[in-house]
Amino acid sequence: MPLNTKIRGPLEKNSDKTTDLPFVFLVGNHSSGKSSFINHVLGRRIQTAGVAPTDDCFTVVAPGPSDIDQDGPALIGDPDMGFSNLRHFGPSLIHHTRLKIRKETNAPGFMMIDSPGMIDSPVTQNTIGLSSVGRNNVMDRGYDFEGVVRWFAERADVILLFFDPDKPGTTGETLSILVNSLGGMDHKLYIVLNKADQFKKIHDFARAYGSLCWNLSKVIPRKDLPRIYTMCLPVAGGEASEGSLKEGLKDLHQTRHDVVSEVMKAPARRIDNAITRLGDSINLLLMHSKLTRETLKQYKGVMWRNRAEVGLVGMAGVGAGAGAFSLGVPQAAVGCAGVGVLGAVGLGIWNGQKLKEEEKRLLSEDGLEQTFRRVYSRQISEGDEFTASFWGRTREPLRMNLTAMGLENAEDATAKDIAGLEAILEDDIPRLRRLASPKKGLGFRDLLQGETNKGE
């Protein structure tokens, strides 16, 4: 964090802080069944459910000894809950959060966080893409919705992204959230097509499922789409349904059990997620540090070359003047020295303009892309998708940061700093993984033979 502060890196202040309890984060279209799912998992009617949008708040549902409701200022102002950093998103968000403490739920060891249902407005349409982060959402909701979702998602132990048969991936804001707020979270993200029991005909289900896959394929840049959990919640009076999908309901209910099972693992996943988040932060900071260092190296190279040229012109003028003076021609000596000084001043102005142009080039999208390709040429040649994904997340914040500071004022990491970050990735992260592994004490041969290491 001190290095991140020094170079104005990509990590937010106190980003190492976590919430008091593990939590499951639900996001998705309005009327996709998020609130009903929370009620189902916790075994109590806590959230209001309905076809129309029923809640425009981020609602934290936490276990406790008694039923208590608190507003946003109380939740975010509590230093022990772990949500204090949300205050930097502004008062509008604070007043759109709430806390519900509930006793006697089925999940006493973790929280569940509901989010406002997403629905397109004219302002949010056609905003999918990294350049739209936080811009139109501020106009729509009064705060950076995508930024807030990413804040919760980074700290969540399980993320559920809900779609429903009515809008199977056609809500632009949901797809934008998938790109801008949930990128890099595949290890804990589950995509759910809910309410599948509403289909009366098999071809209706096929069309909705195909539509969801098609829309996801436009924002997930890979050939194999993640698994889509197709499920439904129990209905009043039993789990039967009429129509062509009646015989398939067992599969839908089994899938629901699978999703609930993943939700219940949230506390056990906290340590793994914390280590993953640490590694993610170090990789982002390392890439930011390397590219800042290389960019400043190129900029300073041009700057010192320009200064050397100015110095040489000035020295040449002074030298010519000294030579003329030694020959007994004082007027020529003064003239040569004056010409040298004027030449140096003029060249300095010219080089200053060239330096500004070079800074503009280095900080352009093409300039940063060239720098990235130079620094990570080996990874690019090997087709390293891991590096490519971090570059996608680093590119715009890096450009905005360096542009705001100006290369003349920017600080870069030292070689020792970069070596320290690499040591964390190469030594500390694997050590933490071994400590957290349920197979601690098992060697490779032992795993193959199904035996434990009797020496541990």
Structure-model confidence comparison of residues 231 and 455, the more confident one? 231
Do residue 221 and residue 293 come from a single domain? Answer: no
Do residue 189 and residue 258 come from a single domain? Answer: yes
Is the predicted pLDDT of residue 320 greater than 90, yes or no?
Answer: no
- Does residue 293 fall inside a structural domain? yes
Domain boundary among 208, 236, 264: 264
Sheet holding 23-28, edge to edge: 68-71, 97-102, 58-63, 111-114, 23-28, 158-163, 189-193, 228-230
Is the predicted pLDDT of residue 302 greater than 80, yes or no?
Answer: no
- Does residue 1 fall inside a structural domain? no
Put residue 28 in one of left, alpha, beta given phi > 0 → left and psi -120 to 50 → alpha.
left
In the structure, what pLDDT confidence band is assigned to residue 456 with cuts at 50, 70 and 90?
A: very low
The count of other CB atoms within 10 Å of the CB of residue 121 is 12
CA atoms within 13 A on the CB side of 121: 9
Structure-model confidence comparison of residues 99 and 185, the more confident one? 99
What range does the domain containing 153 cover? 14-264
Q: What is the CATH number of the domain that holds 130?
A: 3.40.50.300
Do residue 257 and residue 290 come from a single domain? Answer: no
Stretch 220-226: mean pLDDT: 74
Stretch 246-258: mean pLDDT: 78
Do residue 77 and residue 27 come from a single domain? Answer: yes
Is the predicted pLDDT of residue 126 greater than 60, yes or no?
Answer: no
Do residue 292 and residue 428 come from a single domain? Answer: yes
Do residue 18 and residue 165 come from a single domain? Answer: yes
Domain boundary among 264, 298, 331: 264
In the structure, what pLDDT confidence band is assigned to residue 128 with cuts at 50, 70 and 90?
A: very low
The reported pLDDT for the residue numbered 406 is 87
In the structure, what pLDDT confidence band is assigned to residue 72 with cuts at 50, 70 and 90?
A: very high
Structure tokens at 223: 């050939």
Do residue 69 and residue 182 come from a single domain? Answer: yes
The reported pLDDT for the residue numbered 244 is 45
Report d(CA 443, CA 429) in Å as an integer.
18
Stretch 426-444: mean pLDDT: 77
Burial label for 112, CB within 10 Å (0-12, 13-18, 19+), is: buried
Report d(CA 5, CA 417) in Å as an integer.
13
**Reduced to 3 states, what is the DSSP secondary structure of residue 152?**
helix
- Does residue 358 fall inside a structural domain? yes
Distance of CA 389 to the CA centre of its chain: 11
- Does residue 442 fall inside a structural domain? no
Number of domains in the chain: 2
The reported pLDDT for the residue numbered 41 is 94
Report d(CA 232, CA 230) in Å as an integer.
7
Entry pTM: 0.72
In the structure, what pLDDT confidence band is assigned to residue 309 with cuts at 50, 70 and 90?
A: low
Percent of the chain at pLDDT above 90? Answer: 29
Do residue 170 and residue 305 come from a single domain? Answer: no
Stretch 58-82: mean pLDDT: 92
The reported pLDDT for the residue numbered 323 is 57
The reported pLDDT for the residue numbered 429 is 93
Is the predicted pLDDT of residue 34 greater than 50, yes or no?
Answer: yes
In the structure, what pLDDT confidence band is assigned to residue 412 with cuts at 50, 70 and 90?
A: confident
In the structure, what pLDDT confidence band is assigned to residue 292 with cuts at 50, 70 and 90?
A: very high
63 phi/psi in degrees, rounded to 5: -75, 150
Stretch 401-408: mean pLDDT: 87
- Does residue 5 fall inside a structural domain? no
- Residue 66 one-letter amino acid: S
Chain mean pLDDT for the chain: 79
CB 299 within 8 A of CB 358: yes
Do residue 287 and residue 251 come from a single domain? Answer: no
Q: Give the Å distances, CA to CA, from 409 to 1, 296, 354.
A: 20, 10, 18
Stretch 267-294: mean pLDDT: 90
Is the predicted pLDDT of residue 243 greater than 80, yes or no?
Answer: no
Dihedral sign for Cα 285, 290, 295, 296, please. Answer: positive
Is the predicted pLDDT of residue 212 greater than 70, yes or no?
Answer: yes
Do residue 182 and residue 296 come from a single domain? Answer: no
- Does residue 2 fall inside a structural domain? no
CB 33 within 8 A of CB 49: yes
In the structure, what pLDDT confidence band is assigned to residue 39 with cuts at 50, 70 and 90?
A: very high
**Reduced to 3 states, what is the DSSP secondary structure of residue 332?**
helix
The reported pLDDT for the residue numbered 101 is 94
Is the predicted pLDDT of residue 131 greater than 50, yes or no?
Answer: no
Single out the residue of 223, 250, 224 nearest to residue 239, CA to CA: 250
In the structure, what pLDDT confidence band is assigned to residue 331 with cuts at 50, 70 and 90?
A: low
50 phi/psi in degrees, rounded to 5: -175, 170
Do residue 259 and residue 341 come from a single domain? Answer: no
Single out the residue of 208, 266, 273 nearest to residue 61, CA to CA: 266
CB 162 within 8 A of CB 29: yes
- Does residue 324 fall inside a structural domain? yes
The reported pLDDT for the residue numbered 383 is 85
- Does residue 4 fall inside a structural domain? no
**Reduced to 3 states, what is the DSSP secondary structure of residue 236?**
coil
Structure-model confidence comparison of residues 13 and 376, the more confident one? 376
CB 75 within 8 A of CB 67: no
Is the predicted pLDDT of residue 181 greater than 70, yes or no?
Answer: yes
Is the predicted pLDDT of residue 345 greater than 70, yes or no?
Answer: no
CB 169 within 8 A of CB 163: yes
Report d(CA 278, CA 272) in Å as an integer.
10
Do residue 249 and residue 336 come from a single domain? Answer: no
